[in-house]
Chains A and B, each alone.
Chain A
């Protein structure tokens, strides 16, 4: 018998169908899987310390789910599988589990444990207070930034170990945005559940709401009407285009190239306004709900969207092509903030940041959901792993999304009129379900597990930023500290999505 269960995206399994492994076997199977080029998409425990690991098998288009019971102290997976690094720190903070031999054993979000004491036996927990890595030496200096930053940006604390201008090491302490989303979902779903999913990372409202809907629909056996699936995909791609356009503008602004910065700033707002045409909210609030969507798109609205979109697509192309045709911009983008494919794999990087260093992988292609099963999306891989590559991947994705949107709006127009939502009923007891969506930053994972009463006993959210912050820290090694804002912008990660 295989030591794991196979699960497709948007599918539920009875817990009884997932073999429970002794911890040593579980540990071995996870490490083995990752060494065979699988990716650790999720590792977590519930209140009873039942442990779950989800391995993404991109080649086979399926997920492997492994189950165990965590002993209070266990040999850390991280020395042999660095993708487990943050997950293990999370286990230590939430449940007081001790991964012995963890090479970087520090708190993660600075919150009280969900039960008992945390692994550091902390009583008073102060945000950002931990044992930061320090480089010693006569000419070494330390730069500390945040939690409050200079712009309109979320809070986080950054510690740079510098030698002159050169950054030897960057350590990032987050948790300032921690508002207890996962803990709040225990015993749910509740009236506020959909809202909490939409606000897990507010700029990824559709991504998180859809991933959550996939998991809850799987648990309740709900069939979503085809119209709703297309509307969700339209909203998801609009979210991607708006954010990528904004990022290209922000990158342009950070190197002092104001034309593209100005145009893309305006265009990002215009793309968000298209989402508001769907549901009244620029961020896509109240569009996706378990069972379908709250709003339909009538033929007149589809025609209007197509018209507006074409004009914006032309303006966006004009603004972005200008950026890539300007040598002084490229000189600032090329060769800066490099990550190689090996390192990207080591940290389990996802999304555009991973694709910029030659890593294939896109949930829409590898684990298709909704209308992506029948759609051909081009791969948007770049090889150089630098800021230029991250910018180019974004531009390629904008173009691919616009092409997809044309087809999707046409497809929706051709579907017969009908309901856009089905009733999402009671959740199956003692089941596990997975909802995974390719948000604009990458893989959004929602893992939902129910108890004997059909209530959620564990709900795990993995925002793409959870993996990718480590990528940013490593990309800064050897770079000049003055390039940090630019490098940071090229990843543009979510603080609240990480902090939850």
Chain B
């Protein structure tokens, strides 16, 4: 008992103060890309050609689909002029698929809060049922960490629950493999209405690194599952996930 008490003193209070204070982020974090089409060379297709998930479309200036982007370094390494680079901006969540299309010179439209009625239902207590549907367990790692004392998701009234019957929202990770399709749909059906669907990670949005595979459906988009909140990344940083959830509930600081 004495040892436990001493250890408790040593370990201290470790919960971060987000959203009041943003925890320090790694300098090399690849957050929201910054597109500066003014620097694009005429006829240059380097970024689009090197992008492993073909998330970049040239029309003729680049447009990045953050729902497909793996936040890797292929485009920034390919670009001869620095027209694409990554910022440290961790806020990436959006409410619609179209909002995930990032264009040069247009501000990224972050997720808005739920409408008043939904917010009155879920704003003070949101129970999440997580379905891991064929990814790499990476998004699960960064969702799980939110329940640790470092993040203490419970302080926002958000909790991960075991049964879909107890859930207000289904949080989907993974591209939804054919082998997980039935289980995913059953979980959705077992969650009472009104419910929310949250797609976490490139896989759940578009299929991610597996988007060309016929063993999977291409995430919620390919499976025709309507989504209320998209959180891009491969995997998204825990702060990106938390920001998305708080944004949806109208609890975000900025």
Contacts and interface: CB of A to CB of B under 8 A. Distances in A.
Interface of A: 109-111, 127, 147-148, 150-155, 175-180, 184, 191-192, 194-196, 198-203, 205, 259, 262-263, 265-266, 268-270, 272-273, 276-283, 285-286, 294-295, 315, 318-319, 322, 325-326, 494-496
Given A195-B52, A325-B3, A179 B210 contact: yes
A322 B186 CA distance: 42
B177 A177 contact: yes
A273 B237 CA distance: 10
B28 A276 contact: yes
Contacts of A202: 135-139, 141, 235
Contacts of B73: 286, 294
A200 B209 CA distance: 10
B138 A184 contact: no
A269 B14 CA distance: 11
B214 to A, nearest CB: 7
Contact of A152 (B4, B130, B215): B130
B209 A195 contact: yes
B177 A154 contact: no
Given A266-B150, A295-B28, A176 B180 contact: yes
A155 B180 contact: yes
Given A177-B174, A295-B28, A199 B138 contact: yes
A482 B215 CA distance: 35
B165 to A, nearest CB: 12
Given A191-B50, A192-B53, A196-B209, A152 B28 contact: no
A57 to B, nearest CB: 32
A177 B140 CA distance: 13
Given A148-B183, A202-B141, A203-B137, A263 B28 contact: no
A322 B4 contact: yes
Interface residues of B, number: 67
B162 interface: yes
A109 B134 CA distance: 12
Contacts of A175: 179
Contact of A279 (B28, B174, B235, B237): B28
B209 A192 contact: yes
Interface of B: 3-4, 7-8, 10-11, 14, 26-30, 50-53, 70-74, 130-145, 147-151, 160, 162-163, 174-175, 177-180, 182-183, 186-187, 208-210, 212-216, 234-235, 237-238
Given A153-B140, A269-B145, A496-B135, 12 more contacts: A148-B183, A154-B132, A179-B175, A179-B215, A184-B213, A194-B52, A263-B149, A265-B149, A272-B141, A277-B28, A315-B10, A318-B10
A340 to B, nearest CB: 30
Contacts of A180: 210, 213-216
A355 to B, nearest CB: 23
B162 A150 contact: yes
Contacts of A280: 26-30
B97 to A, nearest CB: 22
A155 B30 contact: no
10 contacts: A110-B179, A111-B215, A177-B179, A191-B50, A192-B52, A205-B138, A269-B145, A283-B138, A496-B134, A496-B135
